[in-house]
Amino acid sequence: MTARRRVVVTGVGAVTPLATGVKPSWERLVKGETGVGPITKFDASGFRTRIAAEVKDFAPEDFMEKKRVRRTDPFIHYALAATSMAMEDSGLVVNEHNCDRVGVIYGTCIGGMTTYERNLAAFQAGGADKISPFFVTGFIPNMALAEIAIAYGIQGPAQCVITACATGSNAIGDSFRHVQHGEADVMIAGGSEAYILPLGIAGLGRMGALSARNDEPTKASRPFDKNRDGFVLGEGAGTLILEELEHALKRGAHIYGEILGYATNVDGFHITEADSRNQARCVSLALADGGVEPEQVDYVNAHGTSTPSNDVSETTAIKLAFGDHAYKLAISSNKSMMGHLLAGAGTVESIFTLLSIQHSIAPPTVNLDEPDPECDLYYVPKVARPMNIDIATSNSFGFGGSNAVVVMGKYKGQ
């Protein structure tokens, strides 16, 4: 059996409700600042939920030509922008000599819903002739990866992942496997979402999934807190450049950290409620895949949605997977500050996990004023915690019971 190759991260890029760019997003996250506020993208006055974590001050023209902006959906804009930043950060050049050894796996939960809503309204108002010729290519989910591949001339492995809230972590994990097993030397992995729309807010609101703390938007996302009432919908994208270690060293690339292990499974239980046992099994499988003992993990970047049932389920899963060591872990939820980016969550949170390792600091879980008695672990309340982090996990648990866990570690040389 061929030895598994080591995989490192050499570039990162992000568009988040905190800022455009990884560095400013990270700086605000560590300070405990929030990107949640009243919805401005449409008139939400008649909705039960009138708050969200919107991307602000983002200009797609800074990352792509105007012609491409006009023909593509915002979820593609975010994906292309995050990838542009990650590629520049990595210093990777794709050319005719290596294009078939570079691949892309990019995911989304919803796809181009802005394009869909706009064209549906045009069709209802004026008939078939009012539909844009770019309707289909702006809407279908795989067009983010297609536009990325076209932009850089990529011809290696490609896939569009759609596994609800686990999408971003699945994109990283599947990319990890391609590099690990020698099918590619470099993979672009990411997830993107742009679903702060009337239909999105209404649909998630009808499920009872969203917080309705409209009078206190900055306090609405409160994972593991006794008074949480749902998650806050966010938007944005994250992109990571995953690279085979020797390939990265040969070109002198900066290494953020190493991907050590990955696992994915499905609960087979309920469309929205989670099964802690299978979540725990996913964590354990990911640790085993990376040859990591539970006691070696220092930090867990939790899925931490701020929904009443799922925070309890995740807490139970962490206890099952880590045993007594669960009470020694630092655990925090990035969603407390940037809401739930759906497909973008796993990738952005994995980027922040790598930065936590690199900068030796666990970001806070804000708004944790009165911990739920059933959530009795250490969630880094309110203020970031300086600490050495050698190994960390990032959890993503999605609707339908899709689970994905990525294990990351400090790069310590060959």
- Buried-exposed string 13-47: b where 16+ CB fall within 10 A, e elsewhere: bbbbbbbbbbeebbebbbebebbbbebebeebeeb
Catalytic residue among 77, 178, 247, 340: 340
Tokens of 300: 């867990």
Active site residue 303: yes
**Rounded Cα distance, 146 and 170, in Å:** 18
Contact 302, 331 (CB under 8 A): yes
Nearest to 244 by CA among 229, 233, 255: 255
**Rounded Cα distance, 36 and 170, in Å:** 26
Catalytic residue among 77, 109, 160, 165: 165
Active site residue 165: yes
Tokens of 372: 């739920």
**Rounded Cα distance, 276 and 193, in Å:** 26
Active site residue 340: yes
Nearest to 138 by CA among 72, 65, 77, 66: 72
The catalytic residue positions are: 165, 303, 340
